[in-house]
Structure 1
Amino acid sequence: MARIIDGKAHAAALREEAGRRARRMLELTGVQPGLSVVIVGDDPASRLYVKNKGEQAAAAGFRSETHTLPETISQDELLDLVARLNLDPAVHGILVQLPLPAHMDAQAVLAAIDPAKDVDGFHVINAGRLAVGLPALVPCTPLGCLRLLKAELDQLKGLEAVVVGRSNIVGKPMAQLLLQADCTVTIAHSRTRDLPQVCRRADILVAAVGRAEMIRGDWIKPGATVIDVGINRVPSRDPAKAAEGKTRVVGDVAFDEAVEVAGAITPVPGGVGPMTIACLLDNTLTAAARILERDPAEFA
């Protein structure tokens, strides 16, 4: 039976550390790290996520603000707001919540964010810096995955890692981080030939393909560490509740099967998800330190 990797506990410790670092920064520099989140439209899941980000940032001692914009706003108006935030010295991190309405070009909006304040790590400059091994703001979800792996495993060096998923948000940066940790890395995806056999090679298996319970228990190497990034809603196991439209959240891994084979595994929910916001705070502190031309380690 696999060990359950408690993302909630790890995230709580990281948030506590972020609070200490924020207080230290304020004490040494007089600067309070500032995070600005922009949300466009009324998507309930996005609103809840943004609310959680704001509350956790404020609780950690950050200056936190949320800009809530109507879905009808023009892209030019959104870009004007981003430009103002870029110039605001009290703002060290800018996050534009995705997805954006269909009439907007998300890539153009992300490209408008100052790379030094791009705490989501999605700007092409940060992606490029990560790819060539330079200091960069790293997307929060893969950064959280790496923290969980380092906490779980004594040594990543030399391990074979398979990342199932090739998105710019998780799959590609996850592979880059694992390469930097001296893993041997394979990026696979839904069209990979004999995907089960590729997964069976992995000492570390990161599932970020976006398909509910796609990765089965017999795809997993006995004793492997499994990081499940997926968040998928499927019908409730209770037929009566399912008939009422009730759902449950599952990952990309068939957990009940995988837990019997893996050495360690993240649950869904309660695994990777809590780490994402905690790493957003960590990124904001890093951005603030660099904007101040200070070493982030100075505030540890």
Structure 2
Amino acid sequence: MSALTPHAHDRSAVFAPDPIPARAGVGLKAEHYADILETQPDIGWFEVHPENYMGAGGPPHAYLTRIRELYPLSLHGVGLSIGSDGPLDQDHLARVKGLIDRYQPGLFSEHLAWSTHDDIFFNDLLPLPYTRETLQRVCEHIDEIQSVTGRQILLENPSTYVEFAQSEMSEIEFLGEIARRTGCGLLLDVNNVYVGATNHNYDPAAYIDAFPIEHVGEIHLGGHAEQEDDAGEPLLIDDHGRDVDDAVWALYRRLIARRGQCPTLVEWDNDIPDWPTLFAEAQRAERIMRDRRSNDAALH
């Protein structure tokens, strides 16, 4: 069977809801389909954006079905606009549910952001103020999503470039209260922490230490671009277009020392490298988790 040939049961494959192991995974990219199917690398799992698979069939689903037969899968949405001040897009939510039913992902996550207003869709994940009013709206949207999909959702901390004067609580307090009220989990993106800390001049290690770790079900790592703002101060952009920075790896080690092993995803969405380069980033995360496991074993 060629890499392009779908299985006869492509539209009706039934998958067990395999849990995501406490290992490293990567974002699945079309550029790597053939390498993955040919070599079947020793990697924990793959993650996809559901928005890339909302058609009914075709090569994307043929490839994803074959890879899903080999590996656990996570869905990481970018289009539900959980922070929007309007209602959720019911068609979009129904399509996400369809993909969850079809592929039985071990984890399902989205961003603490908004990207729609009325009928306008913005190609960005935009920040929101941390107010009691916003908190209530986000919780209502998460309750609706979890009710419709029948699944817990993990909510990702954002990368931010502005801060709102009207915020009434910290980002950590806001996320922790959402998890407490809705029962959702949290996705801790370490690169986002470093980007926000640099852009807003706070201590990223203190953020990691204060984060409500008991709610963290997944960790993200990624690369960022270095720029300067109008005042000549450092400005980091979460572009997922390069390897993980050494400072982010150091924060990840700090997080793993606190959290222990946890499903960890390496994101690389722009200027996508060849498969060996991306796989090497995942292996680096695996080594950090393995070192933590060895240290724990030595203590006992």
The structure with higher relative contact order (CA 8 Å, sep 6+) is 1
TM-score normalised over the length of structure 2: 0.29
TM-score normalised over the length of structure 1: 0.29
